[in-house]
Structures are given as structure tokens and as C-alpha cells.
Amino acid sequence: MTKAGQSRIEDHLNGVTSFEGVTLGIDFGTTNTVLSVAGPDGAAAVLSVSKDGVDITGYRSILCFWQDRETGHRTSESGPWAMDAFVNAPHATRMLQSFKTFAASRSFTDTPVFGKRFKFEDILQTFLESVAARLGDKLPPKGNRVVIGRPVIFAGSSPDEELAMQRYEKAFRAFGFTDIHYVYEPVAAAYFYAQELKADSTVLVADFGGGTSDFSIVKFEVGKDGLTFTPMSQTGLGIAGDTFDYRIIDNAVSPLLGKNTEYQSFGKRLPVPRHYYANFARWNTLFLMNSPGTIRELTELAKQAVEPEPLEHFINLIENDYGYEIYRAVSDLKVRLSSDRMSELHFKADDFEIRTDITRNDFENWISDDVRQIEQSVEQAVGTAGLEFANIDRVFLTGGTSFVPAIRTVFENRFSQAMVTSSNQFDSIATGLALIGQDADIARWAVKW
């Protein structure tokens, strides 16, 4: 994109010209949400919000609710402001994050929030309204075309794709959008990458999000009339960044909180049930832990435990909502291990403290089965396209998890290092979606459901 093109689209954002013909791309992610706009002239820009003098484009996909004790009025915030509200009053707020993971779950019907039951579409609509309020007049009118990314495979053990898309439709239309189109996230990333192509290329795009990893093979041909596009295959799986966080918590944190310990029952020693630790180690189920029923069950287990202290720490962490701070420490550790061979996992809350060195080798051992499944999904994408690895001209990686060395190795072992590229890991999908929105023949990109 030229500087002049960037300037023209920024004029739209500043209200200098109208939003006529401007399209909006929304990359609603498990961890972050990014919005981008594109103009008829081909210029594009990522929408940002300002906090403490810093422009933020990767908007955290989290909601925090609280209630006025006197009036009963329920208020919510999103993104970094949600995190601030939670940190300042963890006992008086309700935090929801990684809620995209529930989109295709038939077992998730709703969740109570200060007297109201929120369905998935209610949560997503509330999140969109909060983001829109922060963006203000940077957001195009709701009648403009909007292109929304969706994963190839939704997260979950038995994802219901039709249910997920119904929920998306209800949320985005309730928000007020009318001209809505859906495009596979890796296809949008491929379109973004293809803007730089000078010759015909068969491109493998790998999009690593928080909840899913998606792969798409696209054949691009460069002609006088611009790019022509032939989708060849799409595959995906519900293993991504959140799964890697889960492995760290499950191996380095949960054993200190009673996992693998025992309790006494009718003269027998039984293992403490593992499902408590499975829920604790997942972003999307963590908020379900702090319920009267779960706390009551854990308290009874602690009374009968052979080693009660770890379980008592576990209960304290859940009741006081320290789990989110543990996740932040784990996420930071994961980032550091992408550049360092060893890093310290440190967390302290009340009289419980974790201070342990984690090596990259530890981490890679914990995620080895996950990486193997990711590699198999890549192989499936190539095979479904009727290609060999040698037929791939370019490989484009996007998403924060693409920084993990074990992930990059999957591709560098199959392709030359020069073929594997990545840029704008967090913005490429949203920008690709907005640019696709400018295509008069949007149907050739859109997913039918």
C-alpha cells in the first residue's frame, strides 16, 4: 500500500471524507479481535483505540461485568479496560474470555451474569457494542459491507458448525450490521499476502490463533485485471495457542495445587478427580470454576486429602480469581520461550508462590503431540489439494503462535527457510477481510452455510 493510499483511508477515519464504499473486516479471535477498513482505491488501515497514550490494534477478546449494589445496574467493559476493571475489583466483577471457544458448543446454552442469563450471541453482541463505543466515529456505518472471518474448523471436541454460524448471525445482526459476509480466516490471510505477489503462486497459509489452527492452499494468478483466485483446500483443528498454555499449566502449575494427589474415602485412597484441573487449565472454562458447587466439592476433598495444603491453595486461587494472573504469567513465559532457551515462571498470591525454571525443551516435550497433530493437518491440506509439498511456491504464517519455534520448525523442515515468511502476524486477517470486501464478486470468497 502506498503512503498516499494510507493517507486517504486515514482521512476516512478522521471524518474528513464520507465512509461511502468503505468496507469493514472483523477478525474476531479467541484471544484478540482486530478490525480493519478498506476503501475503493485499495487503501486499507487497521482501526486502533488509544489507552494511556498507546494505540492498540489487537483488542483483547474479553468482557468484564460488574453491578451497582444500590441500583442493580449492570455495566460491562471490554479489552484492556475489562482487564483493568477485573484487576481492581476481582471479587466484585465477572470476567468472560476465550468465549469464542463456545461458539460451536451444543452443551453451552448460557451463563448467568449478575441476574441475567447470557447466551453466546448475547456475549458477542455485548462485546461488539463495547468495542464500537471505544472506536467511536472510526467505525463505518452499520449499513456498509462487513466481512467477518471464521475458522475452518471451530474449536471444541464436537463442534457444531451450523450452530456456530447461527450464533454469529444473530449477534452481528443484532448489533446492526446488514450487509454481512463470512470468509475463512486463512483465505483472508492469503489474500493479504497475495497483494505483494508479482508472479503466479500456489500459497500455503497457516493461521495460528488462540483456539484453532487453520490451513488453506490457494492458487493465485497475476493478470492484467489483477489477482485471480482458486481455493484448493482448507483444513483446521482445535489446537492452538490456548492449548499450549494448557500444557504449561497442566505440567508446571496444577501438580502444585493437588493434581496427582489422593484423598481418603471409606477406607480407600482415591486420586483427586482430574476434571477440576482440566477446567482450571483452560481459559474458556476457568470462569466456571468459581461456583458454589465446585468450591463445596473441593472443600470436602481437601478435608479428606492425604496432602490437604495443595488443595487449600487451589481453592484459594479459585475463590479469589487468581487464575487469570496465573494465565498472564504463563502467557508471558510462552512468549519468552520463543526467544530464550530457559525462562522463569513466577507467580505469587497470598502464601502460595511458584518460582521455577522452564526450558524450551520442557515446553516442546509438553506440546509434542499437539505439534504432531498440527503437522498432520498441514499434510492433509496438501493432500486434499492434490499436491505434493514440492508444488507449494510460498508459505505464509500468521497469528501469534506462529512465533513458537516448534511450529516454525514444522514448516522449515518441509520447505526451504526462504519460502517461509510472515508479516503483520496480528493484522493480516482483518486487513485481508476488509480488502476482500471491495471485490464486486464477493460471493467467490464468501463461505456458504
Q: What is the pLDDT of residue 4?
A: 39
d(CA 246, CA 261): 19
Region 362-378: mean pLDDT is 98
Dump pLDDT digits (tens) for 261-306: 999 999 999 999 999 999 999 877 887 788 889 999 999 999 999 9
Q: For residue 145, how far is the Cα from the chain centroid? A: 24
Candidate ranges 26-35, 189-198, 226-235; pick with highest mean pLDDT: 26-35
Residue 328 near residue 249 (C-beta atoms within 8 A): no
d(CA 207, CA 346): 30
Name residue, grid cell 456505518: 141
Region 400-419: mean pLDDT is 92
CA distances from 121 to 117, 175, 210, 341 (A): 11, 10, 20, 42
Q: What is the pLDDT of residue 43?
A: 92
d(CA 21, CA 1): 18
Region 143-171: mean pLDDT is 95
d(CA 105, CA 154): 9
Residue 188 near residue 153 (C-beta atoms within 8 A): no
DSSP symbols for 171-198: HHHHHT--EEEEEEHHHHHHHHHHTT--
Q: What is the pLDDT of residue 404?
A: 96
Of 140, 126, 142, 120, the residue nearest 65 (C-alpha): 126
pLDDT of 131 over the 50 cut: yes
Dump pLDDT digits (tens) for 374-383: 999 999 999 9
Of 262, 252, 257, the residue nearest 312 (C-alpha): 257
pLDDT of 363 over the 70 cut: yes
d(CA 242, CA 327): 10
Of 290, 346, 277, the residue nearest 321 (C-alpha): 290
Region 33-40: mean pLDDT is 96
**Which position has the higher pLDDT, 365 or 288?**
365
Domains along the sequence of the chain with CATH? 3-184+430-444 (3.30.420.40)
Region 66-94: mean pLDDT is 89
Dump pLDDT digits (tens) for 90-104: 778 988 988 999 999
Region 54-61: mean pLDDT is 93
Name residue, grid cell 503462535: 401
The pLDDT mean for the chain works out to 91
Residue 9 near residue 45 (C-beta atoms within 8 A): yes
Find the largest Cα–Cα distance for the chain: 81
State phi, psi for 28 to the nearest 5 degrees: -80, 110
DSSP symbols for 329-362: HHHHHHHHTTT-SEEEEEEEETTEEEEEEEEHHH
Contacts of 423 (CB under 8 A, 6+ apart): 193
Helix (H, G, I), strand (E, B) or coil at 264: strand
CA distances from 382 to 339, 379, 391 (A): 30, 5, 9
d(CA 59, CA 56): 7
